[in-house]
Structure formats: structure tokens, C-alpha cells
Amino acid sequence: MTTGQAHPNHQQQLLEAIHRQCTRPWTLMEVCGGQTHALLRHGIDQRLPEAIRLIHGPGCPVCVTPAERLDQAMALAAQPGIILCSFGDMLRVPGSGQRTLLSVRASGGDVRVIYAPLDVIAIARRHPEQLVVFFAVGFETTAPATAVLAQQALASGLANLALLVCHVRVPPVLASMLEDPSCQVQAILAAGHVCTVTGQRDYEALAARHRLPIVVTGFGAEELLQGILQAVRQLERGQHRVENGYPRVANDNGNPAAQLLVNQVFQPVDTPWRGLGMIPAGGLALRWPYDRLAAERHGLLAPPSREAAHGMGERCLSGEVLRGRLLPPACPSFLSHCTPEHPLGAPMVSSEGACAAYARYHGSRL
């Protein structure tokens, strides 16, 4: 059994096994930004066989939240009588222009960082005269907590709480990327924490359709090496099935209670992902009766700006990075015009962004 803790001998054994298994070039994509950071932090990318190319997937929720939604959140936060609640990572992400929620707060907007969605209930109770809007962002891992918030808000009859929903779903975006004829991914390291909620059913369909191995993978050095070993082993054998490389945490069926909760509150909808365009069934929207909590119902949302709707105003190549077509150091702005202190795009802002990972762990080597 693997664990998230460092066991240098076992890591070395896994690395040696990968080197023995690998006889040809292979391109692997790790889906989650947390995995990207761990791969670079542990120097795994530097110790793999040269024939293995790692490309970094779209699994950073902050990076893929569309500019138009950020613009709407900022416009809401700027209005008197509204409290906008968000996770801290979202505050420094630019929308279609240079403004951020942080700059809106500096100009007097009431933007509050919360640590759990249920915190919003207490804020709404303390400020009955104001509309409290929760900017609900994240993958399948965070959607259940938003679903609990929606259920409690409705049950308690809170009339001053609204949700600006931006939850997104991983399997549809992987399907979209794999359908692209230019996609070079030959194996996927799926995000173990997402599979803990969703299970592996959707991944089985993807593996069969695209004839590629998918290994559910964790976040520690050993877990990542284990996932890479299982993926390479399948590739070398010509296999294409879903394997669980994270059995300590993930199982085939995921968390049925969390799935039920999400299905009660949300329904899949076509959703734009920043840098990636419209993803069929790529997001979640509130379903009846929870849709009465939607921020859209309050008539306060600005229509998307022309820049946001057309993707103009984006001065960075985050779409190419998120599709795995470009490694961050190949972006002309990387560590010149775009730095962690002065980011041009979300992948440099987010603690899970690929550009931030290269800046942090590879910056001094470039």
C-alpha cells in the first residue's frame, strides 16, 4: 500500500521500475494542479526517463473559472448592499480586464474570504439587510459542500442568500480534450480526490472510447510514481483500462451519499471553461427548487462583456497551458511580464496553477 509520506527507498524502487518498464516515448497527462505542483516539488519530472513527457492538465478550478463569471462576481461585489463571499484563491484572479476581487475590495466592495461554504449561512444571518452571494467555484470535490449549503439555505428560509455557481466537472473536459485530433495524451493520471467522490464509471467509458490507460492517482511522491508506473506498464503492454493507483482513498464507486446530494441540487449543463471554450455538460447548475437561490434570479448580474464573451482581453496563453499544448516556460511572458507577484493569468495566480508551479520550483533553473 502506498502512502502520501516520503519513503526514499520505495520511491527509488518505483523510479527504477519505471525506467525498466519504459522502452518508448510516452506522453502522460496528470489532470490535477495539485499533482502538477507535487510532481515539480518532488523533482519527479527531472528523474523520469527522458522518453516520458508529462503534460499538465486543466485541473485547477481557479484557472478555468470563466472571465465572464469573474466579471459578474466583481460587478456584484461593487454594488452597495451586497456581500460577495469567495475562497481566497479567487481574489487575485483577473477577469477580462486587470481588475480582481481584491482590487474591488480595495475600492470599497464588500468581499469576504470564507473557508467553508456553510460559513455563508452565518454571514447571511448576521446581515439580514444585505444580499450575501457565495461565488461557488470548484470541481466535484467541492460541489457536495455547496449542495449542503443550498439545502440548508432553502430549509432555513434565508431570503438574503444567493449562489453564483461555477462548479465544473472533470470527465466532460477530458472527453473534449481527447476528441481533439491534435491531442497528444496517451495516458491519464486521474485526480484521486475527484474519484473519491465520483467513482470511476465515467473514466471507464473514456478509457474504452479513446483506448488509453487511466490510472486514479494520489498526490504524494510515491503515489504519483505508482500512478506513472501503472500507466507506463499499460502503455507498454498495449492495454487501456482504468486502474486504481490510489486504493488507500479511492474506490470504484466513489461516495454515493455525496453523489446523491449533488444530483439532488445540481444538474449538468454546457459550461464555458476559461481558455478551453464551451464544454458540453462541463458544469453544474442549480435545479428546481434550489434554482431560486441562483444569483441570476436577483436580476443583478451584468451580461458578459464583449471581451469576456469572445475571450478578448486575455493577454496570456493559459488556454494552451491548460490544454497541455504549452509548458509554462515556453510562454513569452513567463517570469518576464508575468510573475507570481504580478500575474497576467490565472495559472500564475492559483496555488494549483501550472505556471505558478514552474515559477516556484523551476524558476531558478530557467
From the list 344, 352, 357, 362, which residue makes contact with ligand SF4 (rule: CB under 6 A)? 344
- Given a contact cutoff of 8 angstroms between Cβ atoms, the answer to whether 283 and 269 are in contact is yes
Based on the shown chain and the rule CB under 6 A, indicate whether residue 65 belongs to the binding site for ligand SF4: no
The span from the CA of 56 to the CA of 182, in Å, is 15
Based on the shown chain and the rule CB under 6 A, indicate whether residue 62 belongs to the binding site for ligand SF4: no
Asked whether the bond before 289 is cis by omega within 30 degrees of 0, the reply is yes
Name the nearest CA neighbour of 342 among 320, 323, 359: 359
CA 124 to chain centre: 27
Phi, psi (deg, nearest 5) at residue 269: -140, 155
Q: In angstroms, give the least distance from the CB of 340 to ligand SF4.
A: 10
Q: In angstroms, give the least distance from the CB of 354 to ligand SF4.
A: 7
Based on the shown chain and the rule CB under 6 A, indicate whether residue 259 belongs to the binding site for ligand SF4: no
Residue count, binding to ligand SF4 (CB under 6 A): 15
Based on the shown chain and the rule CB under 6 A, indicate whether residue 321 belongs to the binding site for ligand SF4: yes
Of 129-137, 145-153, 297-305, 313-321, which segment contacts ligand SF4 by CB under 6 A? 313-321
From the list 30, 355, 361, 362, which residue makes contact with ligand SF4 (rule: CB under 6 A)? 355
The span from the CA of 168 to the CA of 148, in Å, is 17
Based on the shown chain and the rule CB under 6 A, indicate whether residue 345 belongs to the binding site for ligand SF4: yes
From the list 22, 214, 221, 338, which residue makes contact with ligand SF4 (rule: CB under 6 A)? 338
Q: State the SS3 of 305-330.
A: CHHHHHCCCCCCCHHHHHCCCCCHHH
Q: In angstroms, give the least distance from the CB of 315 to ligand SF4.
A: 7
- Given a contact cutoff of 8 angstroms between Cβ atoms, the answer to whether 164 and 72 are in contact is yes
- Given a contact cutoff of 8 angstroms between Cβ atoms, the answer to whether 117 and 146 are in contact is yes
Q: In angstroms, give the least distance from the CB of 90 to ligand SF4.
A: 15
Of 77-85, 188-196, 247-255, 315-323, which segment contacts ligand SF4 by CB under 6 A? 315-323
Of 81-89, 120-128, 221-229, 330-338, which segment contacts ligand SF4 by CB under 6 A? 330-338
First vs last C-alpha separation in the chain = 36
Q: Which residue type is seen at 175?
A: A
Binding site for ligand SF4 (CB under 6 A): 316-318, 321, 328, 331, 333-334, 338, 343-345, 347-348, 355
